[in-house]
Amino acid sequence: MNEHTNHRMHYVRKSLKARYIAILTTFIMLVNAMVPALAIGNTQAQESFSKATAYLSALEKRQGSLPHWGYMALKLSGRAMEETSIHKAIAEQAAYTRESGETNDYVNLVFLLLAAGKDPGNFEGDDLFQRLCQSQLPSGKFPDNLVEGGSRLNNTHMWVSVLLAAHGQPWAAESRKKALGYLIAQQHADGSFNWDVQNRETADVDSTGMALIALGALGERVGSPVVDKALAYLAGAQQKSGGFQSWGVENPESTFMVISGLLAVGADPADKPWQKKGGLLEALQSFQLPDGAFAHLQGGGANTLATAQGALGLYSLATSQPFFRGLSQERNNQESLSPSILALVDEVRFQPGEATYGVSRQGSTLKEPMDVAPLVQEGRIFVPVRYMAKALGIRDNGIRWDQQTQRVSLEHEQQQVQLVLGEKYNLVNGQKRKMDVEPVLQQGRIFLPARFVAEGFGYRVSWDEREQAVIIRP
């Protein structure tokens, strides 16, 4: 693999004395966003994703390992990770990370652990989440190296912020606020970002996509000034083909980065201005080869990193959610209470404007994080689909979105509740019930009226006037 390809793979290391440090590392996951109404090219993207991951699976068997991007794609394809060689990749990454101390290497290790279904909070006796959280500098930035420090790399700060915010790790509100403030301060006048803190002149598409991912994980959405400026820059940088370029050439990795950033902040890739020529899906597919692999350059041969990141971009378009949220859902499924949170606790409560929800048992309350707060419309509380489902104990395979009928279906223990965008009724096991409101679609996310969904599953719902909260009890 040549040096230019390494740059494109965001894997380039930069020693401040001579070399580039990993321009990219990885992202991550959690929370949440059920498949929204704005899926584009759903079937085509899914078919292309299946071809790409089939290629990666065969490649892993031939060569014995994949980069972490490849293992994340295999995880999202539903493959049994215990049948792969990911344990070998983890051992090698762990050894390398201990030697280098570089923060990006720790993030890459966490990604591998998550793809393997392991707990980064307890890896060989080490809590990697806390190790990263406690490394935050007084400026709000996360250091380039956990041993030597350093404040040169923006990408390091972005991915640690994503990791901590997405996984709801114990992170003091003031520290989180400082991390967001530091990131916002790195934006250039034209709305772009660059991975190098000291480079305030060069706009970089990939770094701007990465910044949007971090901003989305930290709660920023379309309408936020920093997000809108970044989106305006990317709209101007989009090529006539519909794709994006970085390092002087159009490539699938850059397009993947933009897709992930758009979805993270609630922008719809199917909207203008992202539909130049055939749009982002067609631009991504133009690099896919007949065997499912992706080329890094038009007319080139199969490239492993291009294939892995291309596959993740296809996954995001097929599900209308950034890939790191899909990974987080896999982790949540492994950790979720069964059969229902409400079967084991006294109550769950949601408050408008609060990006957490409370889970109470025997007088103590645990705050669970959300990436977007509930909202109020027409006197009703609306909760994002994913969190509404989680509170009711519904796993991801019990959430369905029908693009053609614009219908959300939630299923749990032989009970089904369905709601349709634009309609003031729900279906409870096929029986139509009137509602006085309809589901809300806002910034690419579907919000459901908490009362009608919870009551459809047989739960009791009340309103706490003093706390301004909707309370759901078994």
Question: Do 12 and 118 fall into the same domain?
Answer: yes
The DSSP line for 286-349 is TTB-TTS-BBSSTT--B-HHHHHHHHHHHHHHHHTS-HHHHHHHHHHHHH--SS-HHHHSSEEE
Q: pTM of the predicted model, to two decimals?
A: 0.67
- Its domain, for residue 278, covers 3-332
Cβ atoms of 183 and 214 within 8 Å: the answer is yes
Instruction: Give the pLDDT of residue 414.
Output: 79
What is the separation of C-alpha 230 from the centre of its chain, rounded to a whole number of angstroms? 18
Q: How far apart are CA 180 and CA 300, in angstroms?
A: 39
Nearest Cα to Cα of residue 206 among 10, 402, 436, 21: 10
Question: Do 53 and 181 fall into the same domain?
Answer: yes
Instruction: Give the pLDDT of residue 277.
Output: 86
Query: Is the dihedral angle over the CA atoms 352, 356, 358, 364 positive or is it negative?
Result: negative
Q: How far apart are CA 262 and CA 237, in angstroms?
A: 14
Q: How far apart are CA 446 and CA 420, in angstroms?
A: 10
Instruction: Give the pLDDT of residue 436.
Output: 94
Of the chain, the percentage scoring pLDDT greater than 90 comes to 58
Question: Do 129 and 246 fall into the same domain?
Answer: yes
Nearest Cα to Cα of residue 406 among 35, 41, 46, 44: 35
Structural domain count of the chain = 2
Final residue belonging to a domain, choices 316, 332, 348: 332
CATH code at position 39: 1.50.10.20
- Residue 471 DSSP class: E
Question: Do 303 and 396 fall into the same domain?
Answer: no
* Residues whose CB falls within 8 Å of the CB of residue 423, separated by 6 or more in sequence, listed in order: 438
Question: Do 119 and 262 fall into the same domain?
Answer: yes
Final residue belonging to a domain, choices 278, 308, 332: 332
Strand 380-384 to 445-449 pairing: antiparallel
Question: Do 326 and 346 fall into the same domain?
Answer: no
What is the separation of C-alpha 316 from the centre of its chain, rounded to a whole number of angstroms? 9
Torsion angle (degrees, nearest 10) of CA 70, 76, 80, 85: 20
Q: Residue 274: how many CB atoms within 10 A of its CB?
A: 21
Final residue belonging to a domain, choices 266, 297, 332: 332
Q: How far apart are CA 161 and CA 164, in angstroms?
A: 5
Q: How far apart are CA 466 and CA 357, in angstroms?
A: 16
If phi over 0 gives left and psi between -120 and 50 gives alpha, with beta otherwise, what is residue 406?
left
Instruction: Give the pLDDT of residue 258.
Output: 97
DSSP H or E stretch at residue 263: helix 252-264
Q: Which residue has the tokens 């130049």?
A: 276
Q: What is the pLDDT along the chain (474 residues), one digit of tens a residue?
A: 433 334 433 433 333 333 333 333 333 333 333 333 333 335 788 899 999 999 999 999 999 999 999 999 999 988 889 999 999 999 999 999 999 999 999 999 999 998 998 989 899 999 999 999 999 999 999 999 999 999 999 999 999 999 888 765 567 788 889 999 999 999 999 999 999 999 999 999 999 999 999 999 898 999 999 999 999 999 999 999 999 998 889 999 999 999 999 999 989 898 877 988 889 999 999 999 999 999 999 999 999 999 999 999 999 998 888 888 777 665 555 444 334 555 556 889 999 988 888 888 767 677 777 878 899 998 899 998 888 888 887 877 788 888 889 999 999 877 899 999 999 999 999 899 999 999 998 877 899 999 999 999 888 999 988 889 999 988
Question: Do 320 and 385 fall into the same domain?
Answer: no
What is the separation of C-alpha 264 from the centre of its chain, rounded to a whole number of angstroms? 6
Question: Do 305 and 271 fall into the same domain?
Answer: yes
CATH code at position 443: 3.30.457.10
Instruction: Give the pLDDT of residue 1.
Output: 41
Question: Do 352 and 268 fall into the same domain?
Answer: no
DSSP H or E stretch at residue 427: strand 425-428
Q: How far apart are CA 50 and CA 74, in angstroms?
A: 10
Terminal Cα distance for the chain, rounded: 57
Q: How far apart are CA 421 and CA 413, in angstroms?
A: 24
Q: How far apart are CA 160 and CA 152, in angstroms?
A: 14
Question: Do 310 and 351 fall into the same domain?
Answer: no
Question: Do 230 and 103 fall into the same domain?
Answer: yes
Instruction: Give the pLDDT of residue 397.
Output: 72
Question: Do 157 and 179 fall into the same domain?
Answer: yes
Q: pLDDT tens for residues 232-270? A: 999 999 999 999 998 889 999 999 999 999 999 989 898
Q: Residue 405: how many CB atoms within 10 A of its CB?
A: 11
The helix/strand/coil state of 30 is coil
